[in-house]
Structure 1
Amino acid sequence: MKPTHSDRLFSSTHWIILLGVCSGLVSAQWKQEALPAIAVVVVLALTLLKTRLIILDFMGLRGRHPRLAATLAAWPVFFAAVILAKALLPG
């Protein structure tokens, strides 16, 4: 049986929620202090995975417009790199 578009969205929704909960749990481990660098990297990686799922499935770009999907995915990668640089560099 071939999966339908709604089955893919249902599955993607569950993955997005799971990734969001995991990001929240990682962030909640440090209540009163700043997140360590590894925790920031993990949260940013989970955020980029969620972004990819949203771009491909909810914007309907899976298999249709790969260049547009890559361009839309480049923005969160750019901002994640800026956030990571801000978190790791002193000052």
Structure 2
Amino acid sequence: MVLRDRLIQLSEGSHSVRIYSGRGDDYYVARIVRVGHDYLEFEAYRDGEKWGEVLMLLADVRRVEVFNVDSARNDLDRLYKSSSDEKGDSRKD
């Protein structure tokens, strides 16, 4: 599946995604609005609030990952709980 097809599929499901562009590990947390022939339009979010709308050439998109906020929260909760449990266990000794 080519990138454009995958982006269209993600836009239909209204998934939150991380869109990587350029060099480094900089990315946008976004919801894809429209996929054109050679461009991508998306709503970018920062700290859970809409930050702005962005147009980007498909040639500039390096990588796209589906980002599930609830899953990320659950992972953090599990890490926090296991960290708390370990601290609690060490106090008992």
Same fold (TM over 0.5): no
Relative contact order, higher structure (CA 8 A, sep 6+): 1
More helix as a share of residues = 1
- Compare CA radii of gyration and give the structure with the larger one: 2
